[in-house]
Amino acid sequence: MDLAYERGSITATDLEEALSGNISNSAVRSYLRALEAKGFLQHEEEGVRFIYLPIRARDDVARGEVSRLVKTFFGGSVSSVLATLLSEKEIDLSDAELDEMRRMIEEARRP
């Protein structure tokens, strides 16, 4: 999806090349069809090839996927997500990022 958003459209060949040939063309096509079936992409035919375009805004897709992640892996608990993120040693949060999170939490508390 990142490539489709970055480029505005993508073909199976584009995606296969971006993945450095580590996946078969048929697997790439299956993946693109699955994303289309889920409503993330649509295709246009250009001769014999399909060009896939994102049909939902990146932010809308991100919100939906985060919601699904929270429900699936954290039982709907946002605080569990935050605790997991904060406990990850690979994630180096700056003071500015922590201040921004604090501001968001305080804003969420307001009626």
User: Mind listing the pLDDT tens digit for each residue in 43-101?
Assistant: 999 999 999 999 999 999 999 999 999 999 999 999 999 999 889 888 888 899 999 99
Measured in whole angstroms, how far is the alpha carbon of residue 7 from the centre of its chain? 15
Token pair of 81 as six digits: 């997500």
Token pair of 15 as six digits: 């995606």
Question: φ, ψ for residue 51 (rounded to 5)?
Answer: -110, 120
pLDDT 10s digits, 9-46: 999 999 988 888 678 888 999 999 999 999 999 999 99
pTM of the model: 0.69
Under 8 Å between Cβ of 1 and 61: yes
